[in-house]
Amino acid sequence: MQKRSVFQILLVVGGLGLLAGLAQAAAPELVVNGQVIRTTPGIVVEEGISYGPLRATAEAVGGEVEWHADQQMAVICRGQQCVRIRASEGIMRHNRLLLPIRKLAESLGGTVAWVSSPPQVRITIK
């Protein structure tokens, strides 16, 4: 009887661990004007801020990227609109700089919405 109880507890704990792992694996998608954009690394959410890879995110919204290594700053332009974002405003993942998606998109004239299920960062830009 006692062995059965221990087994049941282990089964429940193991199942909860599996569910937690699956929940973490569901990284948000980046959607620009209705099109899913695949990025490597994927979108990361930290402290309520969604971060996307610098170049992939900028190009997805029609931006052109210039990297100024001496200043550790990216200048991203879309038409006449430009935004300067310092590396210190982002986070590093897998040796890649991820920048705040909302700041980038809104600075270039887009709007950003968060969708909970399925998790998505949606950008609309004309």
What value does the mean pLDDT of the chain take?
87
113: closest CA among 21, 50, 20? 50
* Whether pLDDT at 88 is above 90: yes
50 within 8 A of 27, measured Cβ to Cβ? no
* Whether pLDDT at 64 is above 90: yes
For the stretch 3-50, pLDDT in tens is 666 566 655 555 555 444 444 557 899 999 999 999 999 999 999 999
Comparing 8 with 101, which gets the higher pLDDT? Answer: 101
State percent of the chain over pLDDT 70. 80
Domains of the chain: 27-124 (3.30.457)
* Whether pLDDT at 118 is above 80: yes
pLDDT at 22: 45
Strands 29-32 and 120-124: parallel
* Whether pLDDT at 85 is above 90: yes
Q: What is the mean pLDDT of residues 52-71?
A: 96
